[in-house]
Amino acid sequence: MIAASSARQLFSRFISKNNMSIPRSNVLGVGISALNLELAEQAMYEGADKPSMQGFVTITGVHGVVESQHDEQLKRIHNRSYLSTPDGMPMVWMGKWNGFSHMDRVYGPELMLNIMKSSVVSEHSHYFFGGADGVAQELKDNLEGRYNGLKVMGTYTPPFRPLTEDEEQSLYNELQTLRPHFFWVGLSTPKQEKFMHGFLSKYPFLTKEWDHGLIMVGVGAAFDFHSGKIKQAPRWIQRSGFEWLFRVFMDPKRLFKRYAVSNSYFLWKVFPQMMGLKKYLRIK
């Protein structure tokens, strides 16, 4: 086992080398990848098809950007990602303001379904990690029923705490055996981002002997949506920029304070950036 500090340095260099080709829109110091759904899918397949490649994708909206203002580690994680996609119309509007006219929303649940559908033909495989008890298995059953021939190699419901050394090693061993192309993580922000970064930092040579890559993708509530646990907002609401309000109505006790605080804070911080009154560095 190589030293932890050396592993982190190797991982940081590897990630930096593999995400240089896609420009980013600076939103309060968080680099949001300047792409749309089609380009995101293309980039993910390119990573998954690259031998020994390993990287992670964050699906980033207002909540993730605001959390990053109070957590420098989280901001660095977003900026070290293979992709940080614009999940939420405010990220798209900021991207267009910054000159990326082609940017459009890359919504985690939609991205997940598109990859599932296309991977049946391409024969890329998947692993589901996250959700409450039984959700990952229900997700597997639902999606395999929906997309005949879908390859879901395994599922894992993690405990509500960091994995122990033995649990991490067991997951590492399972991935070495199954070798999925895509590893979908259904945890909350910032837990899923820190898990993906931490795991790949600890095992920078996980895919060294693989003839393809491994892309981890943090999709949060997509597990609950596609397993049927939570109702999803209609598409016109998703495109309006008010999906957060729909979700608040569906789960006010848990989400009202989060969105009320996050949205207000975001507007207060982003206006000076848009007017050129304050600059934010993209730290890595």
pLDDT of residue 233: 53
Residue 284 lies in a domain: no
pLDDT of residue 133: 87
Domain count, the chain: 1
Do the beta carbons of residue 193 and residue 64 sit within 8 Å? yes
Tokens of 13: 């260099």
pLDDT of residue 212: 98
Look at residue 2 and tell me whether its pLDDT is greater than 60.
no
Residues 93-122 have a mean pLDDT of 95
Residue 165 lies in a domain: yes
- Structural domain for 87, as ranges: 4-274
Rg (CA), the chain: 18
Residues 206-217 have a mean pLDDT of 97
**What confidence tier does 271 reach under pLDDT thresholds 50, 70, 90?**
confident
**3-class secondary structure for 23-34?**
CEEEECCEEEEC
Residue 254 lies in a domain: yes
Going by C-alpha positions, the residue among 164, 15, 10 that lies closest to residue 77 is 15
Q: How far is CA 17 from the centre of its chain?
A: 19
pLDDT of residue 205: 95
**What confidence tier does 225 reach under pLDDT thresholds 50, 70, 90?**
confident
Rounded Cα gap, residues 87 and 116, in angstroms: 19
Helices (H), 179-275: 191-202, 222-226, 235-240, 243-250, 252-274
Residue 279 lies in a domain: no
Q: Give the angle subtended at the CA of 246 by the CAs of 161 and 158, to the nearest 5°.
A: 15
Going by C-alpha positions, the residue among 187, 203, 204 that lies closest to residue 195 is 187
Residue 162 lies in a domain: yes
Rounded Cα gap, residues 69 and 40, in angstroms: 25
From 87-96, 183-192, 267-276, the region with the lowest mean pLDDT: 267-276
The pLDDT tens digits of the residues spanning 60-104 come to 999 999 999 999 999 999 999 999 999 988 999 999 999 999 999
Look at residue 8 and tell me whether its pLDDT is greater than 60.
no
Look at residue 15 and tell me whether its pLDDT is greater than 50.
no
pLDDT of residue 186: 94
Mean pLDDT of the chain: 86
Helices 72-80 and 4-18, packing angle to 10 deg: 50
Burial zone of 7 (CB within 10 Å; 0-12 exposed, 13-18 middle, 19+ buried): middle
pLDDT of residue 229: 65
pTM reported for the whole predicted model? 0.85
Residue 281 lies in a domain: no
Beta bridge partners of 186: 130
Residues 261-278 have a mean pLDDT of 86
Look at residue 12 and tell me whether its pLDDT is greater than 70.
no
Look at residue 191 and tell me whether its pLDDT is greater than 90.
yes
Residue 161 lies in a domain: yes
